[in-house]
Amino acid sequence: MPDLAPGLIYLPSILDRDQQTHLVEELREIVKAAPLFTPHMPKTGKPFSVRMTNCGSLGWVSDRLGGYRYQPQHPVTGADWPAIPPSLIALWRELTNYPHPPEACLINYYAPGARMGLHQDRDEQALDAPVLSLSLGDSALFRYGGNQRNDRTKSIRLHSGDAVVIGRDSRLIFHGIERLLPGTSTLLADGGRINLTLRRVTLPA
């Protein structure tokens, strides 16, 4: 499978159905400890249509006053985030070759109709590390462009069990989720989609 662009690697069907089912079970436990919350855009306070939570030593959050940031605690409960499941740490090691473990795993839940506008992932200090994305549940149209918001974009379908690695020359490309394709997966009983993104946040000492 050729890279979609330099540093932008699409890895279809990286997780088989049993691995996906097991991962969803682990995520259900994580969400019990760290409930999904609705982030808000900096300044405008507009709510995201996606709900989120995290696992790892750091989690990504956003609200009107504090903006985009990583923090060690859940913004609603104040509790530390649950640990990243060992299977995901192992997958990071296999797929990224990055010599340090991920610190954050952002868990995005898309109910049917939710989307994610074009954005860059640039809140990490460790921009030398890639971001590893895993998709579960309904397929989605993933749109990606270049380093400028106005660069021409392409879109691909991401299916349940697919991975994407964004690194090197593509680390700061604009990307987003245009829409879900409802009814394309039976993994999640109520439909919708989960996207996990594993990230290294701080520069290793």
Which of Fe ion, ligand MD6, none does residue 185 bind (CB under 5 to 8 Å by kind)? none
Least Å distance, CB 33 to ligand MD6, is: 22
Distance CA 42, CA 66 (A): 7
Token pair 């473990």 is found at: 101
Tokens of 190: 């109520």
Exposure of 144 by Cβ count < 10 A (0-12 exposed, 13-18 middle, 19+ buried)? buried
Least Å distance, CB 6 to ligand MD6, is: 15
Q: Annotate 79-115 with b (16+ C-beta within 10 A) or e (fewer).
A: eebbebbeebbebbeebbebebebbbbbbbbbeeebb
What residues from 110 to 149 belong to the interface with ligand MD6 (CB under 6 A)? 116, 121, 131, 133, 142
Q: Of 34, 55, 114, 177, which lies in the binding site for ligand MD6, with binding defined by CB under 6 A?
A: 177
Nearer to Fe ion, 121 or 162 (CB): 121
Nearer to ligand MD6, 34 or 177 (CB): 177
Least Å distance, CB 50 to ligand MD6, is: 7
Candidate ranges 22-30, 80-88, 114-122, 151-159; the one touching Fe ion (CB under 5 A): 114-122
Helix or strand or coil: residue 60?
strand
Count of residues in contact with Fe ion, rule CB under 5 A: 1
